[in-house]
Structure 1
Amino acid sequence: MEYSREELVDSVPQTGFFGHPKGLGILFFIEFWERFSYYGMRAILLYYMYYSVEKGGLGFSKDMASSMFSVYGSLIFMTGIIGGWLADRVLGSRKSLFLGAVLIMFGHIALSLPGSRLFFLVSMFFIIIGSGLMKPNISSVVGDLYHKEDARMDAGFVIFYLSVNMGALISPFIVGQLQTSYGFHYGFGAAAFGMFLALIIYLIFNRKNLGRIGKRVPNPLTEAEKRTYLRNLILVLIICGVLLYILYLSRMLTFNNFTYFVTFLGIAIPIYYFTMMYRSKKTTTIEKSRVLAYIPLFIAGVMFWSIQEQGSSILGVFADTNTQLDLKHVVGINFVIPASFFQSINPIFIVLFAPLISMLWVKLGKKNPSTGLKFSLGLLFAGVSFLVMMIPTRGMTDTTLINPAWLVISFVICVIGELCLSPVGSSVSVKLAPRAFESQMLSLWFLTDATAQAINSQLVKVYDVMTKAEYFGFLGALAVILGLVMMFYSPWIQKKMQGIL
Structure 2
Amino acid sequence: MKATTASDTIPPLDSPGDQNRQPPALFLLFFVEMWERMSYYGMRALLVLYMTAATTAGGFGWEKSEALSLYGWYTGLVYLTPLFGGWMADRFLGLRKSVTLGATIMMLGHISMAFPGLGAFYLGLGCLILGNGFFKPAMGQLVGSLFKEGDRRRDGAYTIFYVGVNTGAFIAPFVSGTLGEKLGFHWGFGAAAVGMFIGQILFIFVGPRLLGDIGIKPAATIKKETKDLEVSHGALSWIEKDRLKVIFSLMIFVVVFWTAFEQAGGLMTLYTDEKVNREVFGFLIPTTWFQSLNPIYIMTLGPLFAWFWTRLALKGRDPSAPEKFGWALLLMGIGFLFMVFAAQESAALGKASIHWILLSYFFQTCGELCISPVGLSMVNKLTPSRFGTIMMGIWYLSFACANKLSGVVGSYAEKLGETQLFGAISITAASCGLILLLFIAKPLKAKMHGVH
Distance in 1 (alpha carbons) for counterparts of 2:82 and 2:395: 9
Residue 33 of structure 1 contacts residue 195 of structure 1 at CA under 8 Å; is this kept in 2? yes
1:52 aligns to what?
Answer: 54
1:95 aligns to what?
Answer: 97
Select the residue among 355, 376, 382 that pairs with 2:303: 355
Q: 2:340 matched to 1:364?
A: no
Q: 2:118 matched to 1:105?
A: no
1:404 Cα offset (Å): 1.6
Residue 84 of structure 1 contacts residue 136 of structure 1 at CA under 8 Å; is this kept in 2? yes
1:339 aligns to what?
Answer: 287
Residue 293 of structure 1 contacts residue 493 of structure 1 at CA under 8 Å; is this kept in 2? yes
Distance in 1 (alpha carbons) for counterparts of 2:86 and 2:286: 37
Residue 326 of structure 1 contacts residue 337 of structure 1 at CA under 8 Å; is this kept in 2? yes
Q: SS state of the match for residue 368, structure 1?
A: coil
How big is each residue's C-alpha offset from its partner over 1:316-371, in whole Å with a ceiling of 9 and x where there is no partner? 110111112233xxxxx111111101100000000000010000011112211111
Structure 2 counterpart of 1:305, one-letter code? W
Q: 2:434 matched to 1:432?
A: no
1:23 Cα offset (Å): 1.1
2:334 aligns to what?
Answer: 384
Select the residue among 230, 237, 254 that pairs with 1:301: 254
Q: 2:261 matched to 1:311?
A: no
Distance in 2 (alpha carbons) for counterparts of 1:128 and 1:11: 35
TM-score, normalisation: structure 1: 0.83
Q: SS state of the match for residue 220, structure 2?
A: coil
1:174 aligns to what?
Answer: 175
Residue 345 of structure 2 contacts residue 351 of structure 2 at CA under 8 Å; is this kept in 1? no
1:398 Cα offset (Å): 10
Select the residue among 426, 445, 450 that pairs with 1:494: 445
Q: SS state of the match for residue 379, structure 2?
A: helix
1:11 Cα offset (Å): 4.4
Structure 1 counterpart of 2:217, one-letter code? R
Q: Structure 1 residues 112 and 382 mapped into 2: Cα distance closer, same or farther (>3 Å)?
A: same
Structure 2 counterpart of 1:298, one-letter code? M
Structure 1 counterpart of 2:403, one-letter code? Q
The equivalences for 1:185-334 within 5 A come to: 185-219=186-220, 282-327=235-280, 333-334=281-282
Residue 283 of structure 1 contacts residue 436 of structure 1 at CA under 8 Å; is this kept in 2? no
Q: Structure 1 residues 433 and 118 mapped into 2: Cα distance closer, same or farther (>3 Å)?
A: same
1:13 Cα offset (Å): 4.1
Structure 1 counterpart of 2:296, one-letter code? I
Residue 6 of structure 2 contacts residue 211 of structure 2 at CA under 8 Å; is this kept in 1? no
1:88 Cα offset (Å): 1.2
Distance in 2 (alpha carbons) for counterparts of 1:21 and 1:395: 49
Aligned-pair identity (%) = 35
Distance in 2 (alpha carbons) for counterparts of 1:281 and 1:316: 49
Distance in 1 (alpha carbons) for counterparts of 2:33 and 2:289: 21
Distance in 2 (alpha carbons) for counterparts of 1:296 and 1:452: 15
Distance in 1 (alpha carbons) for counterparts of 2:358 and 2:265: 13
2:34 aligns to what?
Answer: 32
1:44 Cα offset (Å): 1.1
Task: Tell me how large the CA RMSD over aligned residues is.
Answer: 2.1
Structure 1 counterpart of 2:6, one-letter code? V
Distance in 1 (alpha carbons) for counterparts of 2:216 and 2:449: 29
Q: 2:16 matched to 1:14?
A: no
Structure 1 counterpart of 2:398, one-letter code? T
1:9 Cα offset (Å): 3.0
Q: 2:399 matched to 1:449?
A: yes
1:451 Cα offset (Å): 1.1
1:393 Cα offset (Å): 1.5
Q: 2:420 matched to 1:470?
A: yes
Deviates more, 1:70-79 or 1:431-440: 431-440
2:229 aligns to what?
Answer: none
Residue 302 of structure 1 contacts residue 452 of structure 1 at CA under 8 Å; is this kept in 2? yes
1:116 Cα offset (Å): 0.5
Structure 2: runs of 5 or more not aligned? 224-232
How big is each residue's C-alpha offset from its partner over 1:200-251, in whole Å with a ceiling of 9 and x where there is no partner? 11111111111121123223699xxxxxxxxxxxxxxxxxxxxxxxxxxxxx
Distance in 2 (alpha carbons) for counterparts of 1:73 and 1:185: 20
Structure 1: runs of 5 or more not aligned? 223-279, 328-332
1:399 Cα offset (Å): 9.0
Distance in 1 (alpha carbons) for counterparts of 2:218 and 2:126: 26
How big is each residue's C-alpha offset from its partner over 1:405-442, in whole Å with a ceiling of 9 and x where there is no partner? 11111111100011111110000000011233200121
Distance in 2 (alpha carbons) for counterparts of 1:137 and 1:392: 40
Aligned residues: 433
Select the residue among 74, 77, 94 that pairs with 2:76: 74
Q: SS state of the match for residue 418, structure 1?
A: helix
Residue 74 of structure 1 contacts residue 450 of structure 1 at CA under 8 Å; is this kept in 2? yes
2:227 aligns to what?
Answer: none
Q: Structure 1 residues 471 and 356 mapped into 2: Cα distance closer, same or farther (>3 Å)?
A: same
1:284 Cα offset (Å): 2.2
Structure 2 counterpart of 1:52, one-letter code? A
Residue 89 of structure 1 contacts residue 221 of structure 1 at CA under 8 Å; is this kept in 2? no
Q: SS state of the match for residue 188, structure 1?
A: helix
Residue 11 of structure 1 contacts residue 213 of structure 1 at CA under 8 Å; is this kept in 2? no
